[in-house]
Structure 1
Amino acid sequence: MGYSSRNIACSATKAGYNVYAIDAFCDVDLKENTVACQSLLTNEDIDIKDIDKRTILDLVDNFDVYPDAIVLGSGFEEMDLGDQSCKILNNDPVTMKQVSDKSSLAKELESLEIPHPLSGNVEEADEIGYPLMVKPKSAGGGRLNRIVHNEDELNTILEEITKLDPTLTSVDIMVQEFLSGFPASVSLIADGTCAVPIAANEQLIGVPWLSGLPFAYCGNITPYRTPYTPQMYDISEKIASEFGLIGSNGVDFLLTDAGPVVIEVNARLQGSLDTVEMATGLNLFDLHVQSFDGILPEETPDICQYAIRAVLYADKAVNVDEAFYGSIRAESIADIPAPGYSALPNDPITSILATGATREDVMDKALDINYRIRNLP
């Protein structure tokens, strides 16, 4: 279950499991790859942030099949389901809270002497120094991240963010030293003590041809070949060991002139799952399940090919009618919207998938698909 669980559910189905999914979108390919799926948004008046544990358990009961295991994806990874009799294949809620709160994570990383941007509460802005990145302390996908250069801009952005997400207050928002660099991530499998890096990924953040939001998560390219890869692997393994992470986890980096700097830890199956699987030929869900029995890959796998997942956001209001749906089904995509889906500007429409021998290959393929979808009537 998760805000968007398609990639996890499809991986689990490929691994041979009978999969039931709870998801905000219930895209066509999620329905096609599960025994059954249900929408988190049972009516238009429900906000996903208001969905509580009882609502989730009621949805699970609706399947009329009690699960052997539950896997929590994005948006629900901190939910405590420890009182359920089935297995919960996630990091425990205490660990999740520890790593998901970017403000407390910064303090932990500082104690471990792991490079991380100076971070603090809004009141510490002057002490950290401008320019600053302003962001929610937990989650967000980069959609609410903003850069500010002075106190007036900070106050304006705080007001803007709390209007965009009324559930947030200034206490839920942090400021962070703004650094320049290239966004990257490491995907790894851990057993609570040790970890094995699976791949380094290029992160697509705020890509103009995919999204109008400057820091929105727009997907990944795997592999990311950089001299910093061994250092990123070492840091990721240290973080996994220190926090006792288990299962599939990800560490986000910014590759600066001074080297890799840790931005955040995603202690759950990540959005890079598609590209990692396509690039390595592995099944990450299967590896995730095995890690809870203490079984890890023997070594970091070889890369078979390059792979891209490019999340395409609407640049205008888009209504998916039968003609639009028929056209996009001919493309290499995932997260396939069903006829009747409506996207406002900056809402996700679909994910473009491509593989190739080089980064240029996959980028060219993604650009071509993007052009065709953007120009549909």
Structure 2
Amino acid sequence: MQNILVIGFDTRNIVCSASRAGYTVCSIDAFRDLDLQECAYASALLECRTSGELRQLDPNWIIAQMKAFGLGFDAIVTGSGMETLNMHSFPCPVLASSPEAAQEASNKSHLAKRLEALGIPHPCCYSPDELDTIEYPVILKPATGGGGIFNRVAKNRQEMLAVLEELSRMDQGFTEKEILVQQFLEGKPASVSLLSTKDESLAVAVNEQLIGTSWLSKLPFAYCGNITPFRTEYAKEMETLAEELVLELGLLGSNGVDFLVTEKGPVVLEVNPRFQGSLDTVEKAMGINLFEAHVGCFRGELPEKPEAKLFAVRGVLYSDRELFIDRKLMEFILREKSADIPSQGTVIEPDWPLTSLFAFASTRDEAVRSLEGGAERIKTFIADQTKEERESLSPAGEA
């Protein structure tokens, strides 16, 4: 096996991991970032921005893109948004969980029922038509996917109805049946990264999640990155629960389970039946190539459990304005420990991810301080650049 197609909403981390493992990789994703293009043999743009558009993607279009790359592909690997891709539509194997297993795992409503049956702690879930039984506050989120961007808290029935209306305006795919109403709990967001075969599962790392981090995004529930490893008294309990769950759900390869560590202990929030955003920090902290390990799972092989060598932090920096990526800004981002680097000429929408920053250190706090410094330098550069542009357009500047 040598030639791999990776397809998903955002594939840079998977593509670069596969490239480091020695594979020839082509990519179809919605960003085509600069560093993705450097890692990939070839890439194409996935012109989808909503969950509805992803669901309607024609497999024949994907096959046509595969032919245009000019390679004979040995396998397809799916990323975010493509978890339920029909495996039977393609001329080569799809190294992923079955679409049925992925659908059940990624749909938060179905997962809640499964967790209840298994006796695994999880937040209480409601459907939007159970208005009279809901106990507030609740959090509303897409039933599948979302990255936290669309999550909203409602403290009463009136706020919940307003949120439902707002979400339907933002994405036509968000009908009431596509939105989960979940008990809102306080706690520390975390995740477990796993590998699984048909018979065994292995918790590779426990990660602290950065959710709605104010110096990275103004969105209160946006996924802003993670820290590997997460040192907590509940680490072993989360690993055991996650290993049990992915086997019960019949998931294969690299998968993730999201937790919230509350004062009463960890509760399961959701399952990601695909590579996760923590891939970079898990690889760096644990000294493992997750793409190679993922491929091994489909041969029935699991690696030895790795040990953390350092603290690795990824921060996803969001843009607070519409931003045109000119040469100066692109080169400034490249000076930092960065990834997901937008190409020159790209336009970044407000509240859209701009880039990822990294820091590595022997302690968690040192790594976080380093990351915060990098984010502040980029934000300052953008603010200064914006100020210069405004001054040059003012009457005084014209004079």
Same fold by TM (over 0.5)? Answer: yes
**Pairwise CA distance, 1:42:** 9.0
d(CA) in 1 for partners of 2:193, 2:131: 32
Which of 187, 199, 220 aligns to 1:181? It is 187
Counterpart residue identity of residue 65, structure 2: L
Cα displacement string for residues 257-281 of structure 1 (whole angstroms, at most 9, x for unaligned residues): 1111000000111110000001011
d(CA) in 1 for partners of 2:324, 2:53: 21
Which of 198, 212, 222 aligns to 1:216? It is 222
**Pairwise CA distance, 1:234:** 0.7
Counterpart residue identity of residue 304, structure 1: K
Structure 2: unaligned runs, 5 residues or longer: 1-6, 386-399
Percent identity between the aligned chains? 45
1:236 aligns with 2:265: no
Count of residues in Structure 1 that have an aligned counterpart in Structure 2: 374
Kept after mapping to 2: 8 A contact 1:40/1:48: no
Cα displacement string for residues 179-230 of structure 1 (whole angstroms, at most 9, x for unaligned residues): 1100000001100221011000000111111111111111110000000001
1:362 aligns with 2:396: no
Cα displacement string for residues 26-75 of structure 1 (whole angstroms, at most 9, x for unaligned residues): 001000001111111299xx955643322222222221212100001001
SS in structure 1 of the partner of residue 374 of structure 2: helix
Counterpart residue identity of residue 370, structure 1: A
d(CA) in 2 for partners of 1:250, 1:20: 24
- TM-score, reference length from structure 2: 0.91
1:291 aligns with 2:306: no
Counterpart residue identity of residue 297, structure 1: P
d(CA) in 1 for partners of 2:148, 2:31: 19
1:53-92 mapped onto 2 (5 Å cutoff): 53-92=59-98
In the other structure, the counterpart of 2:333 is 328
d(CA) in 2 for partners of 1:274, 1:178: 29
d(CA) in 2 for partners of 1:145, 1:51: 24
Cα displacement string for residues 233-262 of structure 1 (whole angstroms, at most 9, x for unaligned residues): 110011012112110110000000111100
d(CA) in 1 for partners of 2:333, 2:185: 38
In the other structure, the counterpart of 2:101 is 95
Which of 18, 24, 35 aligns to 2:24? It is 18
Kept after mapping to 2: 8 A contact 1:319/1:341: yes
Kept after mapping to 1: 8 A contact 2:48/2:54: no
1:231-270 mapped onto 2 (5 Å cutoff): 231-270=237-276
In the other structure, the counterpart of 2:10 is 4
Kept after mapping to 2: 8 A contact 1:26/1:38: yes
d(CA) in 2 for partners of 1:272, 1:123: 35
- Decide whether aligned partners of structure 1 residues 48 and 318 sit closer, same or farther in structure 2, where only a CA change above 3 A counts: farther
- Decide whether aligned partners of structure 1 residues 48 and 322 sit closer, same or farther in structure 2, where only a CA change above 3 A counts: farther
SS in structure 2 of the partner of residue 367 of structure 1: helix
**Pairwise CA distance, 1:128:** 3.5
1:350 aligns with 2:355: yes
SS in structure 1 of the partner of residue 22 of structure 2: coil
- Structure having the larger proportion of residues in helix: 2
**Pairwise CA distance, 1:127:** 1.7
- Decide whether aligned partners of structure 1 residues 79 and 33 sit closer, same or farther in structure 2, where only a CA change above 3 A counts: same
Over alpha carbons, which structure has the higher Rg? 2
